[in-house]
Amino acid sequence: MTRTDRPAPRHWTSSTRGSVPYAASVSSIDAAVLRLVADFVAARFPAAESVVLGGSSASGTTTPTSDLDLLLLGPEEMFAGDGSSLAATYEHEGRLVEVFAYTSASYRVWAEREVAGHRPVILVMLTEGVVLRGGAGIVQLRRWAAETLAAGPTLDQHALDLRRYMVSALLDDLTDATDPTEVAVLMAAMFEALAEFLLLAHGRWLGSGKWLVRRLHAWDADIARCLGEALVAGDRGALVDRAHSLLEPFGGPLQAGMVR
């Protein structure tokens, strides 16, 4: 049997001591990906108790250049020295592997930091990823992560006003800009600031890069489409007009009187 023909590792598809089986989810993952992950974990993180595959490989939207996103949970023996967490990029068999590794305690610490910044990357990985190996305690940790995500982000009125102030300042700059490069940069900044304001104002989590666009679409596809079309077309007037209308329910642009 050749390397590419051998079956996926048994522990990815069945229960092992102290683990929780997730056969239905694992069955949707390409066998070659399962083998690569198993080999990587065995070589680099043999002490890992829980292995979660996230990103495009888990959602079925992978491309030839997609990396593998792995969330690993286990004892401190996984880490060199006295560390208890690690975020690092590796190359394994020609594929980039993004690793987020934690003890159960350090996972909660880092997750709470992401919650404070309104971008819960590792919470999403744990709740939406495919659990390839479920160690003791992962069910409870996953439940906590899901409850935290469901609660949504929280920020006070001053923080929300500050974001509206930032959008308003960008609106002025964009309206007055004459240099084509400045206009392009300001339109992109305007899109990002407005999208983040709208998401937080409606109790939705933020994302970075493409994930901001995806979260905006998930919240309101029509608004995401209108703003996106204006940005892609370089239609400054349409973007400015739409921004004003979207700010109106919150009191419109905010500048004079704002104390930062």
In a shared domain, residues 169 and 142: no
Q: Which residues contact 255 (CB under 8 A, 6 or more apart)?
A: 165, 168, 169, 172
- Write down which residue in 132, 151, 170 finishes a domain: 151
Sign of torsion over alpha carbons 24, 29, 35, 39: negative
CATH number at residue 81: 3.30.460.10
225: helix, strand or coil: helix
Task: At 104, list the tokens.
Answer: 């159960």
In a shared domain, residues 142 and 27: yes
Residue 104 in domain: yes
Residue 35 in domain: yes
Residue 200 amino acid letter: L
Give residue 62's pLDDT. 67
* Spans of the chain, pLDDT less than 70: 1-24, 60-64
Strands 95-102 and 68-73: parallel
In a shared domain, residues 135 and 208: no
φ and ψ at residue 253, rounded to 5 degrees:
-60, 145
CATH number at residue 226: 1.20.120
In a shared domain, residues 139 and 196: no
Residue 260 in domain: no
Give residue 1's pLDDT. 36
Task: At 18, list the tokens.
Answer: 């102290």
- Write down which residue in 118, 151, 184 finishes a domain: 151
The strand pairing partners of 89, in sequence order, are: 98
Residue 111 amino acid letter: A
In a shared domain, residues 92 and 18: yes
Q: What is the DSSP string of 122-147?
A: HHHHHHHSEEEE--TTHHHHHHHHHH
Task: At 75, list the tokens.
Answer: 């004892």
Name the residue range of residue 230's domain: 157-250
Residue 259 in domain: no
Residue 1 in domain: no
Residue 5 in domain: no
Q: Rounded to whole angstroms, how far apart are CA atoms 250 and 101?
A: 41
Task: At 73, list the tokens.
Answer: 């949970």
Q: Which of 1, 18, 16, 11 is nearest to 35 (CA)?
A: 11
Could you identify the residue written with the tokens 């996230």?
54
- Write down which residue in 112, 136, 151 finishes a domain: 151
φ and ψ at residue 134, rounded to 5 degrees:
-110, 105
Give residue 108's pLDDT. 96
In a shared domain, residues 126 and 165: no
- 54, 142 contact by CB (below 8 A): no
Q: Rounded to whole angstroms, how far apart are CA atoms 186 and 51?
A: 41
Query: H helices of the chain, where?
Result: 10-13, 23-26, 31-44, 55-59, 104-116, 121-128, 138-151, 157-176, 180-201, 210-219, 221-233, 236-247
pTM: 0.84
How do residues 46-83 score in pLDDT, each as one tens digit?
Answer: 999 999 999 877 776 666 677 899 999 999 999 987 78
In a shared domain, residues 168 and 144: no
In a shared domain, residues 109 and 198: no
In a shared domain, residues 117 and 33: yes
Residue 95 in domain: yes
In a shared domain, residues 134 and 188: no
In a shared domain, residues 95 and 188: no
Residue 115 in domain: yes
Residue 138: Cβ-neighbour burial (10 angstroms; 0-12, 13-18, 19+): buried
At what angle are helices 221-233 and 180-201 packed, to 10 degrees?
A: 170
Domain count, the chain: 2
End-to-end CA distance of the chain: 66
In a shared domain, residues 115 and 206: no
How do residues 205-233 score in pLDDT, each as one tens digit?
Answer: 999 999 999 999 999 999 999 999 999 99
